[in-house]
Amino acid sequence: MKNLITLSLLSLSINAMAQGNITPDMLRKYEKQTQLTAAERAISNALAAGPVSGLALNQANQVEQDTYFSNSVPSKGITDQKSSGRCWLFTGLNVLRAEMMNKHSLREMEFSQNYLFFYDQLEKANLFLQAIIDTRDKSMDDQTVIWLFQNPLSDGGTFTGVADLVNKYGLVPVGVMPDNYTAKNTAQFTTFLKRKLREDAIRLREGKPSDKQLQQMKEEQLGEIYKMLVVGLGKPVEKFKWAPKDSNGRYVYEPEEFTPQEFYKKYFTANLQTDFIMLMNDPTRPYWKTYEIQYDRHTYDGHNWLYLNLPMKEIKECAIASIKDSTMMYFSCDVSKFLDRTKGIADLRNFNYDDIFGVKFGMNKKQRIMSYDSGSTHAMTLKAVDLDEKGRPLKWEVENSWGQSSGHKGHIIMTDEWFDEYMFRLVVNKKYLSEAILKAAQQKPTLLPCWDPMFSSEE
């Protein structure tokens, strides 16, 4: 009897598994119902020789783009992050650059991304190693530990990192510590940093060292990371001389000597850590609530990424108020979706993907986030909006960091419909926010895990 029961259960299990298989009958059915038309065969032939985006390009939308904007902050020159994931750093520093140039009537200005990137990588290494120490009692298959080993360090980031790094290490002009090849091409160098950090993390989890011994081990490991950074990026400057120049390249006054912290404090009065709020449009969670992401910070003694989730209407109102006051903003989005890179236009009508494959792509923004199909991937500087006669936005413009030859003279123009679907984060000075938003931002935030679907460094 026992054997009969066992055989019966085995049979049920096999039948259940069979129900999930692709069977010969299913294949015959699919083959029969997939009889390509002449047009579909032509598309198939074209896809064999070229990319989907080229074939799906909507020629009816290739008319000359309207580049007029009713409200725009003057661009201060296009920067280029090259083959690196430092868009968050370029964007944050471009926002500061615009403020400094306007306030002090400077002809040109750019800050050193390499200087802050050096400390960003060192601080992230410390954050990772200390997190390994803090979680060393957890097993290797704990989800947080798994995430830490998968993400020991990256060249991506968010505005929170810009704020913490600038507040701690100050700023230097680009000429004081310019980008070198490694800074412009970070992928391979970052791979070696991550490999070394993972090796160090394994050592920190071995044996039963005391807390004091663990900190000594970590400091020695960070010393090696520091050396790697000096070899790859150069040694950060401690003091330098600087003064603005006129249109003929002559110094306006005798150069002064600064430390990076002194330079920042002389030319900036705003506190990046307290005067700005990150707004998010995440329809997977309740609006008018604050959230922060565990371990999503650049420095161990810094701040987790904190944001207020708002409907798009309120975010747009804040953005418009800032642009009208000639103030650029840190902005991030899912830049690759429906972007015509040649023209620099982000428009939902740019590509007819449904027509190419003969299927319907119908997920909304909430569903795309939940399924990991969409998220914030790139930071740029929001600088312009075109409003109709009733004050409603028609299109937006951002200053990008992909070089002058990219897109529309280094910029990307976004339709308002595209903005609704693929914009995610905006950092706004508090003075442009309503009382209701300021009040909502004071809530105790909900702590989200580091592997949350909306956690993604801008690159």
**pLDDT by residue, tens only, the chain of 459 residues:** 556 555 555 555 555 556 789 999 999 999 999 999 999 998 999 888 889 988 888 888 887 788 999 999 988 789 999 999 999 999 999 999 988 988 888 888 999 999 999 999 999 999 999 999 999 999 999 999 999 999 999 999 999 999 999 999 999 999 999 999 999 999 999 999 999 999 999 999 999 999 999 999 999 999 999 999 999 999 999 999 999 887 788 888 899 999 999 999 999 988 899 999 999 999 999 999 999 998 888 999 989 889 999 999 999 999 999 999 999 999 999 999 999 999 999 999 999 999 899 899 999 999 999 999 999 999 999 999 999 999 999 999 999 999 999 999 999 999 999 999 999 999 999 999 999 999 999 999 999 998 886 666 677
Q: Where are the beta strands (DSSP E) in 17-116?
A: 71-72
Strand partners, 329: 382
Please check whether residue 331 is in contact with residue 411, taking contact to mean a CB–CB distance below 8 angstroms: no
Q: Which two tokens stand for residue 217?
A: 């081990």
Q: Which two tokens stand for residue 182?
A: 């490694």
Contact assessment for residue 58 and residue 349, using Cβ atoms and an 8 Å cutoff: yes
Sign of CA dihedral 410, 416, 417, 421: positive
Q: Is 450 a catalytic residue?
A: no
DSSP string computed for 323-384: HHTT--EEEEE-TTTTEETTTTEE-TTSB-HHHHHTS-----HHHHHHTTS----EEEEEEE
In DSSP terms, 258 is beta-bridged to: 240
How far apart, in whole angstroms, are the C-alpha atoms of residue 87 and residue 157? 8
Q: How many CB atoms lie within 10 A of CB 223?
A: 10
Contact indicator for 427, 160 with CB cutoff of 8 Å: no
User: Residues 114, 309, 350, 400: which is the catalytic one?
Assistant: 400
Domain edges within the chain: 71-448
Rounded to a whole number of angstroms, the distance between the first and last alpha carbons of the chain is 63
- What is the architecture, at CATH level 2, of domain 71-448? Alpha-Beta Complex (3.90)
Report yes or no: 242 and 256 within 8 Å, Cβ to Cβ.
Answer: yes
What is the token pair recorded at 154?
Answer: 């990256």
Residue 364 among the catalytic residues: no
Among candidate residues 350, 378, 411, 429, the one labeled active-site is: 378
Asked whether the CA dihedral 164, 165, 169, 170 is positive or negative, the reply is: negative
Please, what's the largest Cα pairwise distance for the chain? 100
Tokens matching residue 454: 């909306």
Distance CA 275, CA 278 (A): 10
Among residues 87, 309, 350, 411, the one annotated as catalytic is 87
Cβ pair 344, 408 in contact under 8 A: yes
The count of C-alpha atoms lying within 13 angstroms of the C-alpha of 394, restricted to the half-sphere facing its C-beta, is: 13
Q: Establish whether 378 is a catalytic residue.
A: yes
Contact between residue 58 and residue 350 where contact means Cβ atoms under 8 Å apart: yes
Q: What is the pTM of this model?
A: 0.91
CA–CA gap between residue 318 and residue 310 (Å, rounded)? 11
Length of the chain, in residues: 459
- Taking residue 47's Cβ as centre, other Cβ atoms within 10 Å add up to 15
